[in-house]
Structure 1
Amino acid sequence: MVLFGPPGSGKGTQSKLLVERLGIPQISTGDMLREHIQNGDGIGRTVEARMKAGLLVPDALVNELVEARLAQPDAERGFILDGYPRTIAQGGVLLELLDRNHAEAVVIHLVVDYNVVIARITGRRQCPKCGTLYNLHSRPPKVAGICDLDGEPLVIREDDREQVIRERMDEYRRQTSPLIDFFRESGRRLYEIDASRATPLAVFDQICGLLDCEPVISHDGHAPQP
């Protein structure tokens, strides 16, 4: 499954909900790249400056990371891609890889208004210790500026600063938006969902309806067990 949409569209949140419901791993290229940066290895040094500037990482490097990750045993039953592919070149590599492994692609496109994206991302805060994400508007910490889990002061990620966000959005429109037409023309299953105003659970219920899987919220208002 490919979750597709601009920065701040909720791909990460929906990925986590889908992991719980479907029991398959979430694979986030952003998380993988940030881990390399944190480790200070060769890949991390290569991509750090580009990510801080809001630029896309070269296709060849991202494709190599994704292919290696998909070869791991936990991805045999399926996987959820968050943040990949971001260019038509990456999309072509992904479809070749899936076809080679006789796997079906399902694309979920989360459509979000530009101004909503800016408001969402500039409100994001992250715990530098455990990585938990918060949002000042939709998911604030219990104590302002402090992580609920370990009491660490929250920080703004470099790639969440407003100028960087606008550059990321420009890059997204220029290189990634054409992927919608690419997937549609390839004949793969592609669904578009308006995720501008709906809550994350409401968006997830729509995804479940499209995939014929059990929603998060049942008719009695309680969350069913996976």
Structure 2
Amino acid sequence: MRLVLLGPPGAGKGTQATRIVDRFSIPQLSTGDMLREAVAEGTEQGLRVKHIMDRGELVPDDVVVSVVAGRIDHSDAANGFILDGFPRTVVQAEALDQELAARGIKLDAVLELEVDEDALLDRIRGRAEEAASRGEPVRPDDNPEVFETRLHVYREQTAPVTEYYRSKGLLNIVDGLQPIVVVTEQLAAALAALPSLQIRSEIQ
């Protein structure tokens, strides 16, 4: 099973990805982990990434795609994977399609955790206020101003990606603000409904 998991910060991607990984025994691939792994292994892509990051520059699309392509060739991804945090742009999505096609494989589904941004921001503000009331430092991820900026960047980058996958009939949207168990059940139902997959409709 080859999946892409989309969703803004705070939507619960990590929690749901872990449940999918446990159920289907496929690796969760994040761009950050893949870049660090490529550097640690000293591969050609890793050396290129290291030089770029050492200069304090953003890793270009073609380099990220190259690292992702190298990672999905690992034996643990032979039966599938779930990509978390990639693709972030339509250019990356198109490049991923090309890399998969070159290997004779394709994505089975794209899962998106959709959230009401006002409700999500209210949740973050509440957590920040609770921390402050207890005299605890506010986690960087719970800084409302920083979080709002991250949401804006995500929305600008990913809205076109969502439409790209919608046009291909791959997109499955679930409300990410529901209780964790409900989100898991709805994601499982979406996967169970895929004609290309013979799976049970419950992620355990």
Question: What TM-score results when the alignment is normalised by the length of structure 1?
Answer: 0.67
* Corresponding position of 1:156: 139
Q: Who is 1:170 aligned against?
A: 152
| CA deviation map 1:37-95 (0-9, x unaligned) | 9xxx5454456x86xxxxxx532332222122112111111000111101001110111
* 1:115 equivalent in structure 2: 118
Q: Which residue of 2 aligns with 1:10?
A: 12
Percent identity reads 39
1:181 Cα deviation from its structure 2 partner: 1.2
Closer, same or farther: CA 121–83 of 1 in aligned 2, 3 Å: farther
Tell me how far apart the structure 1 counterparts of residues 174 and 19 of structure 2 sit (CA, whole Å). Answer: 16
Q: Is the 8 A contact 1:36 1:44 kept in 2?
A: no
Identify the residue that residue 54 of structure 1 maps to in structure 2.
none
- Which residue type is aligned with residue 147 of structure 2? I
Is 2:188 the counterpart of 1:208? yes
Deviation at 1:122, TM superposition (A): 6.5
Deviates more, 1:74-83 or 1:24-33: 24-33
Q: Residues 122, 100 of structure 1: CA spacing in aligned structure 2 closer, same or farther, 3 A cutoff?
A: farther
SS of equivalent residue, structure 2 residue 202: coil
Amino acid of the residue matched to residue 115 of structure 1?
Answer: D
* Secondary structure of 1:178 counterpart: helix
Q: Secondary structure at the match of 1:3?
A: strand
CA separation of 1:165/1:35 partners in 2, compared to 1, >3 Å: closer, same or farther?
A: farther
Q: Alignment partner of 1:102: what SS? A: coil
SS in 2 for 1:84: coil
Tell me if structure 2 keeps the 8 A contact 1:5–1:11. yes
CA displacement 1:176-207 (0-9 Å, x = unmatched) = 1111111122x2421111112x1122111111
SS at match of 2:26: coil
1:150 alignment partner in structure 2: none
In 2: Cα distance, 1:203 partner to 1:76 partner: 27
Shift of the 59–118 alpha-carbon distance from structure 1 to 2, 3 Å rule, reads farther
Q: Label 1:85 to 1:121 Cα distance change in 2 as closer, same or farther (>3 A).
A: farther
Question: 2: CA distance between counterparts of 1:181 and 1:97?
Answer: 20
Rounded to whole Å, the distance in 1 between the matches of 2:99 and 2:6 is 18
User: Deviations 1:123-177 (Å, cap 9, x if unpaired)?
Assistant: 88xxxxxxxxxxx89xxxxxx98xxxxxxxx9835x6543332222111222211
Three-state SS of the structure 1 residue aligned to 2:29 is strand
Q: 1:9–1:175: structure 2 CA closer, same or farther, 3 Å change rule?
A: same
Counterparts of 2:110 and 2:96 in 1: how far apart (Å)?
Answer: 12
Instruction: Give the 3 Å change call, closer, same or farther, for CA 208–164 of structure 1 in structure 2.
Output: same
Give the aligned residue type for 1:91. A
- 5+ long unaligned stretches in structure 1: 51-56, 125-135, 138-143, 146-153, 217-223
* Paired position in structure 2 for 1:194: 175
Alignment of 1:62-211 (within 5 A): 62-105=64-107, 106-119=109-122, 156-157=139-140, 161-185=143-167, 187-196=168-177, 198-211=178-191
Unaligned ranges ≥5, structure 2: 40-49, 193-199
Whose helix proportion is higher, 1 or 2? 2
TM-score, length basis structure 2: 0.73
* Aligned pair partner of 2:24 in 16, 22, 36: 22
